[in-house]
Every structure is written in structure tokens, then in C-alpha cells.
């Protein structure tokens, strides 16, 4: 990114503050362009002939240092690459690592379909979102082009997830492409031996392609050749080796390529990177051991610049660490993870049900909500707007106050006299010092709950319903 501040972007905008983009000022729109929450196309005046030149220049200046590559089509398409920084605290990482899980063309049809369904149906609820898997990698194990085409077609009929077609044989790749030519799959891979034929396929079918070589000079040479041929949707695979010095070499190559693309501005190598952690199965015979090391590699290269990966194990002990570390790394460190403030129902609360206060920090809110719903406690939860800060820090920093608690109920239109028979609310134990202020401001009876929401069931047995004044 050659511009990195709203003021720099503002110079290229109409500067009329027309509001057609939905923002009140052009400077606000410039800020949204920097964090990629809006696009140039959201500014109608910028699309007119009057600003065409500025639009073209700004489009170039805002383009990410690492090329963004799209795999798949429609609502299921996935974007990889598109980063501008080496360290996420500098800005953030965009386009989370895409996980592709493999199937082989020698699998019986029923087994193939079952595995594809397992891949596409996986989801894990975490902090307000579902964590999912992204793609299916179809590997040619048979060496038979027609058999590979049949498997690719069956996978395509079973799922809308984007596909990676895996073979070093151009004839096999062509057969697979014919089966899904309208679905923009990623083809894997062009090498020093087959690059000419694979390049022709990429041009003919207009699909993105992986370039493979552990030799960085050869990898660069391949990239330059493909770019000169007009193929720009490239993914680089510098080899993934699971053990010892070779693993260290893999790690070093990933860092060298990404540094060259971002720090040194070497556009001929500024492309998304592919890691193949499933190579652990070539080294370890025992499946659990192979799966363990696959997860280790997936975690390492999620942190260090792996934009897309091919993996094998669908065991929960492998999947959960992989999707959780990805979610952590690709959460914007500049922005607290929060939920909308308000008053929400858990279960089917009645007039004698408790009203529990917490903050709108997502991890806090969903932990409390989960503890209550899993224990079948019908109640109301008030998520107070603390700018996404947890209870203890919000009390110390002044984001959780009696006034904000009252404001939460007022904005939600929550009438204690109508909704409850007890006129009481429960504060978390870590905010006990607010008890008097909340009673004064709200006129309600305020109880102090436990510091940990996991203890609420036990607290309820002893302290609920509240005793009459």
C-alpha cells in the first residue's frame, strides 16, 4: 500500500462531503478505505469521468503489496493474499488463511462424498461466529486422467466450496478443469518440468495456478515467466518439509518471500503463499503422530504468512487448534471484539427470572451466555456498551458505570416494573464497588453475583430470588 493514512487518500477524493457513500465526510470515507471496510466503488462521484484519473491512481495506490487472488465463484469464492504488513500490529492481516482438506480420486464414491460433506459441514461456534473450513483439494492418486475427472465432478456436485486440483501431470489437470471449468478452481502445480503446459492451461481456462519449487531462484524465474505470459493470479509454494533442518529451511523461505514482497517491493514474488502441512503423512506412519505434526505446521504457517494450506486430518483434535489459532491471528488487534449492546433473553424468562449485567466484550458476553444457557437458567442479560472491554478493566477505566448500565436498559426499553416482579439486577462480582451507585441511579435492588459466571448456578441456589427489602 503506497498510501497509509486517511489524509493521503483524501487528496484523491472529490472533497465535497456529499454523503453519497454513507459517511458524513470524505475524510471519514478515506478512513474506511484505509481499513478496507469500504471500497472506491462506494463513492459514486469518484466513478464519474471528472474523477476517472484520480480513481485510477488511487486504485493503484490502495492496491495491497501482496496480490489478492480469488478462488472459486459467487458467494462461495475465497480471497487469499492481499496483505500489506509483516506484523499484524502494524495494521492487521486481511483474508484469513484458507484451509483446504484433501480427497483422493481412488476413494470409493460413498467414502468420497462422506468426506466432502464432513469438510463442508464442519463448523465451530466461537465468540459470536462460526469457524468453518474453506476448500476441498482433489488429489490425483491414480495417475488416471479420466478417473480424476470423475472424482472432481463428483466433488463439485457435492459441494459449492472452491476446489484445488492437484497433479503434476498437465493432462490430468486438463481433465479436471474440463469437469469444473466454470468454477475457477486453483490448479496445483507448475514446476520447472511442466510449466509450459500448465501455463497454457491457466491461460485457456483463466484459472489461478500454484508455482512449486523449493529453490527460490527457480520459483522467482517461474513467477516472472508466468507474469510475462499474462498470468497474474499466482500462488507460490516453496515446499513444506516437516522435519529438522528442512523444516527450518521451509520457515526461512516463507519469511524471505514475504519480506521481499512487502519490505523490498519485489512485485515478481509478491504473491500468496501455500503451505502443505499434510506432507507430515509422508514422514510419519502413525496417523495420530502425523496429525499432531500437521497441526503444528498449520499453526506455524498460519502465524508466518501461509495464505492457503492443504491438510488431511479431520479429527477434532486437529481441526480445533487450527481454526482457533487462525481466528486469533486474523482478529484485528486494533479493534475490540464486541457485541451490540442491549438486553437479551436467555431461554424463556418470566417475571421472576433474574436480570444479569455484563459488558459487550464478545468473549465475556458469550462466556456468560453459554454458562447460563448450558445450565438452563432462564434470564435476561444486559450487555453494557463498554467499548468492548471486559468487566474488571471497564470498571477500572470508567467504561462500566451506573449511568451506562441505566442507559442500556433505557435504550432497550426494558421496564423492570413490567418485565420483573422483583425489581432487582445482578452485577458481576468484579464490579461490586458499583453497587451503591447503581442503586442510586436506577432505584433498583442490586445484588452482587460471583466473579466467574461459571459459579452462577451455585450462587442462584443460595441467593435467588432476592429477599424483600
For 99, the domain range is 69-329
**21 and 55 housed in the same domain:** yes
Q: Give the chain's domain count.
A: 3
| Of the residues 44, 62, 80, the one at which a domain ends | 62
pLDDT tens by residue, 73-113: 999 999 999 998 888 877 788 899 999 999 999 999 999 99
Q: What is the pLDDT of residue 468?
A: 67
Given a cut of 80, whether residue 457 has pLDDT beyond it is: yes
Report the CATH number at residue 429. 3.40.50.11600
Which residues does 276 contact at the CB level (< 8 Å), separation at least 6?
237, 240, 309, 310
Given a cut of 60, whether residue 198 has pLDDT beyond it is: yes
**324 and 424 housed in the same domain:** no
| Of the residues 62, 86, 107, the one at which a domain ends | 62
pLDDT tens by residue, 369-428: 999 999 999 999 999 999 999 999 999 999 999 999 999 999 999 999 999 999 999 999
Looking at the domain assignment, is residue 57 inside a domain?
yes
pLDDT tens by residue, 302-311: 999 999 999 9
Q: What is the pLDDT of residue 86?
A: 87
Q: What is the pLDDT of residue 302?
A: 96
Looking at the domain assignment, is residue 334 inside a domain?
no
**88 and 150 housed in the same domain:** yes
Given a cut of 70, whether residue 469 has pLDDT beyond it is: no
Q: What is the pLDDT of residue 416?
A: 95
Looking at the domain assignment, is residue 199 inside a domain?
yes
**108 and 149 housed in the same domain:** yes
Given a cut of 60, whether residue 190 has pLDDT beyond it is: yes
The mean-pLDDT minimum among 112-116, 174-178, 333-337 falls in 333-337
Read off the pTM.
Answer: 0.83
pLDDT tens by residue, 117-141: 999 999 998 887 899 999 999 999 9
Report the CATH number at residue 147. 3.20.20.20
**165 and 19 housed in the same domain:** no
Q: What is the pLDDT of residue 128?
A: 79
pLDDT tens by residue, 351-379: 999 999 999 999 999 999 999 999 999 99
Distance, in Å, from the CA atom of 314 to the CA atom of 133, rounded to the nearest integer, reads: 10
| Of the residues 304, 329, 354, the one at which a domain ends | 329
**42 and 178 housed in the same domain:** no
Give the total residue count for the chain.
469
Given a cut of 60, whether residue 314 has pLDDT beyond it is: yes
What does each C-alpha distance from 230 to 5, 227, 266 come to in angstroms? 32, 5, 17
CA gyration radius for the chain? 27
Looking at the domain assignment, is residue 337 inside a domain?
no
Looking at the domain assignment, is residue 376 inside a domain?
yes
**41 and 82 housed in the same domain:** no
**308 and 367 housed in the same domain:** no
- The average confidence (pLDDT) of the chain is 94
Confidence of residue 1 (pLDDT cuts 50, 70, 90): low
**46 and 103 housed in the same domain:** no
**411 and 324 housed in the same domain:** no
Report the CATH number at residue 21. 1.10.15.40
Mean pLDDT in residue range 191-211: 98
Looking at the domain assignment, is residue 336 inside a domain?
no
Given a cut of 80, whether residue 4 has pLDDT beyond it is: no
Looking at the domain assignment, is residue 404 inside a domain?
yes
Looking at the domain assignment, is residue 305 inside a domain?
yes
Distance, in Å, from the CA atom of 176 to the CA atom of 36, rounded to the nearest integer, reads: 35
**302 and 211 housed in the same domain:** yes
**153 and 257 housed in the same domain:** yes
Amino acid at each position: 500500500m503506497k498510501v497509509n493514512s486517511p489524509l493521503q487518500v483524501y487528496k484523491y477524493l472529490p472533497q465535497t462531503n456529499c454523503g453519497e457513500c454513507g459517511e458524513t465526510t470524505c475524510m471519514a470515507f478515506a478512513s474506511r478505505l484505509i481499513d478496507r471496510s469500504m471500497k472506491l466503488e462506494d463513492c459514486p462521484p469518484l466513478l464519474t469521468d471528472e474523477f476517472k484519473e484520480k480513481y485510477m491512481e488511487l486504485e493503484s495506490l490502495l492496491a495491497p503489496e501482496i496480490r489478492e487472488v480469488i478462488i472459486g465463484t459467487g458467494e462461495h469464492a475465497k480471497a487469499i493474499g492481499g496483505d500489506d504488513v509483516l506484523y499484524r500490529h502494524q495494521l492487521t492481516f486481511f483474508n484469513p488463511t484458507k484451509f483446504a482438506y484433501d480427497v483422493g480420486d481412488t476413494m470409493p464414491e460413498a467414502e468420497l462424498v462422506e468426506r466432502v460433506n464432513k469438510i463442508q459441514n464442519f463448523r465451530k461456534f466461537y465468540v459470536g461466529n462460526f469457524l468453518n473450513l474453506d476448500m476441498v483439494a482433489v488429489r490425483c492418486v491414480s495417475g488416471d486422467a479420466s478417473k480424476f475427472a470423475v472424482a472432481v465432478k463428483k466433488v463439485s456436485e457435492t459441494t459449492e466450496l472452491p476446489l484445488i486440483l492437484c497433479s503434476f501431470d498437465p493432462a490430468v489437470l486438463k481433465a479436471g478443469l474440463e469437469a469444473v471449468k466454470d468454477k475457477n478452481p486453483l490448479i496445483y502445480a507448475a514446476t520447472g518440468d511442466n510449466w509450459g503446459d500448465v501455463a497454457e492451461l491457466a491461460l485457456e481456462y483463466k484459472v489461478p495456478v500454484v508455482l512449486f519449487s523449493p529453490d527460490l531462484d527457480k520459483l522467482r524465474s517461474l513467477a516472472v515467466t508466468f507474469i510475462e505470459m499474462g498470468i497474474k493470479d499466482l500462488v507460490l509454494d516453496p515446499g513444506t518439509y516437516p522435519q529438522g533442518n528442512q523444516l527450518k529451511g521451509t520457515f526461512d523461505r516463507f519469511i524471505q518471500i514475504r519480506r521481499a514482497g512487502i519490505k523490498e517491493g519485489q512485485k515478481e514474488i509478491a504473491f500468496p503463499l501455500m503451505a502443505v502441512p499434510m506432507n507430515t503423512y509422508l514422514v510419519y506412519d502413525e496417523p495420530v503422530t502425523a496429525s499432531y505434526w500437521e497441526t503444528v505446521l498449520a499453526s506455524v504457517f498460519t502465524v508466518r504468512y501461509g495464505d492457503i494450506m492443504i491438510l488431511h486430518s479431520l479429527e477434532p483434535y486437529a481441526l480445533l487448534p487450527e481454526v482457533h489459532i487462525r481466528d486469533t491471528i486474523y482478529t484485528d488487534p486494533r479493534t475490540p471484539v464486541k457485541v451490540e449492546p442491549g438486553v437479551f433473553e436467555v431461554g424463556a424468562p418470566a417475571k421472576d427470572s433474574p436480570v444479569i449485567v455484563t459488558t459487550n466484550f464478545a468473549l465475556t458476553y458469550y462466556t456468560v451466555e453459554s454458562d447460563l444457557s448450558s445450565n438452563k437458567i432462564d434470564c435476561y442479560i444486559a450487555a453494557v456498551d463498554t467499548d468492548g472491554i471486559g468487566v474488571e478493566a471497564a470498571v477500572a477505566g470508567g467504561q462500566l458505570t451506573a449511568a451506562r448500565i441505566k442507559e442500556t436498559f433505557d435504550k432497550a426499553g426494558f421496564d423492570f416494573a413490567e418485565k420483573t416482579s422483583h425489581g432487582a439486577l445482578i452485577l458481576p462480582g468484579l464490579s461490586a464497588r458499583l453497587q451503591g451507585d447503581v442503586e442510586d441511579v436506577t432505584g433498583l435492588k442490586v445484588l452482587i453475583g460471583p466473579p466467574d459466571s461459571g459459579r452462577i448456578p451455585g450462587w442462584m441456589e443460595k441467593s435467588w430470588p432476592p429477599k424483600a427489602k
